[in-house]
């Protein structure tokens, strides 16, 4: 494509099918202890 470059692929729908194992880290435990960013948490399956 000339006009558009995808930085991050569409993944939400697919992740709903394969995710939900609950083995990943609780987001609050990683660094913040106060805050809200969740999208920076790694999936345990990758």
Partner 1 sequence: MVHTYQLNGYFIAVDTGSGAVHKLDECSFELLNLFKDGLPRRLPPVLPSNLTEKFERELLEEAFGELGSLSENGSLFAADDHSAFACSLKLSPVKSMCLNVAHACNLRCDYCFASQGDFGGGIKLMTAETASRAIDFMVKESGERHNLEVDFFGGEPLMNFDVVKNTVLYARSIEKTKQKNFRFTITTNGMLLDDEKISFINKEMSNVVLSIDGRKEVHDRFRTCADGSGSYERIMPLFQKLVRERGGKDYYVRGTFTRKNLDFSADVLHLYEAGFEQISIEPAVSAQVTDYSIDESCLPRIFDEYEILAREIIQIRRGGGHINYFHFMIEPDSEPCLLKRLRGCSCGNEYVAVTPEGDIYPCHQFVGIDSFVIGNISKDELNTALREKFATANVFSKERCSSCWAKYYCSGGCNANNYAFCGSITQPHPISCEMEKKRLECAFMIQAALMPADIQDG
Instruction: Give me the least distance between CB of 14 and partner 1, in Å please.
Output: 9
Q: DSSP letter at 30?
A: T
Helix (H) or strand (E) holding 17: helix 12-18
Instruction: Give me the least distance between CB of 17 and partner 1, in Å please.
Output: 9
Query: Binding to partner 1 (CB under 8 A): which residues in 1-46?
Result: 1-13, 15-16, 18-20, 22-44, 46
Task: Decide if 24 contacts 44 (C-beta within 8 A).
Answer: yes
Binding residues for partner 1, rule: CB under 8 A, are 1-13, 15-16, 18-20, 22-44, 46
């Amino acid at each position: 494509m000339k006009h558009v470059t995808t930085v991050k692929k569409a993944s939400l729908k697919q992740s709903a099918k394969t995710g939900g194992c609950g083995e990943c880290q609780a987001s609050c435990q990683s660094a913040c202890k106060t805050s809200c960013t969740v999208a920076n948490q790694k999936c345990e399956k990758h």
